[in-house]
Structure 1
Amino acid sequence: MNTFTGIPFAAATFYAELAKNNNRHWWLAHKDIYDSAVRLPLESLLAQLAPVFGQSKFFRPYRDKRFSPDNSPYKTEQGVFASNYEGVGFYLRVSAAGLSTGGGYHSYSPAQLARYRTAVDAPVSGEILVKIVKSLVEEGFTIDCESLKTVPRGFARDHPRADLLRHKTLSASTLPGLPKWLDTPAAAQEVAARWEQLRPLVDWIVRYAAP
């Protein structure tokens, strides 16, 4: 029996305070809040959504400081990823700003990037993606991507889908923030509804540009 009752507003407060006290002493003194307001509610939520959206992965709360001048040890958000496919799926984040949901892919291989560009270049699959992206923007999603400054070599600069060809990664997200339903069981349905809006994008990537 699932016991998801919502994501407490205390989760946002926890991350707001962490941003001001990003050190091991503070983290250890408040880890019980992380467990009760962040980790356990999200684990319960993802277990409830897993039959439809796939198994989940929790991103580590610890920062990788090896390639960053920022020495703060902890991430100021908790990210999770749910998927039935390797590397492509649905995202959820909790931070001081509240809840963020998204979907798509954030990393790629050269082979995947080649498949993506071929699919964008092709008239049928390319136009399908144009319609998906346009629909998501109209529904209030932000298109997130790592992209080139110019159209990649081998494609015309005036290509009708030049903007999409420049993308190296592709995802979309929305920030519900701190709505009244966040700390209620209805949060599961709200997250599921937003992920369903993203399903056409995820399915397109799986079909035409899988890792």
Structure 2
Amino acid sequence: MTFGGFPDEGLVFYEGLEADNSKSYWAEHKAEYEQHVRAPMLGLVEELTAEFGTAKLFRPYRDVRFAKDKTPYKTHQGAVLHREGGGPGAWYVQVSADGLHVAGGAWRLQPDQVERYRRAVDAELPGARLQTVVDELRGRGLTIDGHRLTRTPRGYAADHPRADLLRHRSIHGGRHWTPEDWLGTRDVVERVTTSFRALQPLVQWLHDNVGESTAPPERRR
């Protein structure tokens, strides 16, 4: 499947869905979603899999079982790419009416992974390496996000030189572009690839220092 960009019709579809997130709107415009959103995303990730791993497109339906917001549809299309045996790190790309978003890192760590993450951040060599990676990403205009504690975790000094990193329970970097003409062209492939490669050191650090969870599946969050 050849990727030629995300057409304006896809963004218009999401503008309409934001205004009317209903089953009737979805039924009336589903063909537009399939043609102008899902198909281009499939084409994009197909070009990325050789370098960044197996791709998975997220379903457009929201899980509203425990949510206060009962709107049934997501107002974006996301896809994740992950290398087999690559640990918790992965890459993510998303398109919506707001434009294009890319990210890389770990969005959720199991307790045993969080513990290994903290030990690595506390240790001099891997901790300093992660700090360098984070600083370089910020210097290139990427943001660093993730679920964080308000205080340094128990057992670590509040004035630890990497206290900010120790507070993370997950960590990922990202970049966002608002809609411009290039979004409808193959320039998307270059921008996503360049950003994914910039995020590779963070994904690799997580692979080397955190790894897969060793907790039994039934005990995972």
Shared fold, TM over 0.5: yes
Partner AA of 1:132 in structure 2: V
Deviation at 1:86, TM superposition (A): 5.2
Q: Distance in 1 between matches of 2:87 and 2:121?
A: 21
- For the residues of structure 1 that align with 2:6 and 2:87, how far apart are their CA atoms? 27
Give how far 1:183 is off.
Answer: 1.1
Letter in 2 for 1:203: Q
Q: Which moved more, 1:74-83 or 1:4-13?
A: 4-13
Distance 2:137 2:9 in 1: 30
Shift of 1:197: 0.8
**Distance in 2 of aligned mates of 1:93 and 1:38:** 10
Which residue matches 1:90? 91
Aligned to 1:145: 146
**Residue type at the aligned position of 1:192:** T
Match of 2:189 in 1: 188
Unmatched segments (≥5 aa) in structure 1: none
Identity across the alignment (%): 40
Using the alignment, how far apart are the partners of 1:9 and 1:139 within structure 2? Answer: 28
Q: Which residue of 2 aligns with 1:47?
A: 46
Q: Given that residues 9 and 178 in structure 1 are in contact (C-alpha distance below 8 angstroms), is that contact kept between their aligned partners in structure 2?
A: no
Q: Is the 8 A contact 1:106 1:170 kept in 2?
A: yes
Change (3 A) 1:86 1:21: farther
- Mapped to 2, the partners of 1:89 and 1:12 lie a distance apart of 25
The number of equivalent residue pairs is: 210
Q: Which amino acid aligns with 1:24?
A: K
CA–CA distance in 1 between the matches of 2:161 and 2:142? 22
In the TM superposition, what are the counterparts of 1:30-45 in structure 2 within 5 Å? 30-45=29-44
Give the residue type in structure 2 aligned to 1:133: V
Check the 8 A contact 2:87/2:207 in 1, yes or no: no
**1:25 partner SS:** helix
1:72 matched residue in structure 2: 71
Query: Does structure 1 retain, via aligned residues, the 8 Å contact 2:87–2:206?
Result: no
Match of 1:208 in 2: 209
Residues 60-105 of structure 1 deviation map (CA, whole Å, 9 limit, x = unaligned):
1111111111110001111110110354210111111010000001
Could you say what secondary structure the match of 2:94 adopts?
strand
C-alpha RMSD of the superposition = 1.1
Q: TM-score, normalised by structure 2?
A: 0.92
Deviant stretches of 4+, over 2 Å = none
The answer to whether the 8 A contact 1:172-1:198 is kept is yes
Q: Does 1:126 align with 2:127?
A: yes
- Residues 129-180 of structure 1: CA distance to partner in whole angstroms, max 9, x if unpaired? 1111111111111111101111111111111000000000000111022233
Q: Aligned partners of 2:205, 2:126: CA distance in 1, in Å?
A: 8
**Tell me, what secondary structure is at the counterpart of 1:157?**
coil
Deviates more, 1:172-181 or 1:127-136: 172-181
**AA of the residue aligned to 1:164:** L
Partner of 1:158: 159
State the shift of 1:8 in Å: 1.3
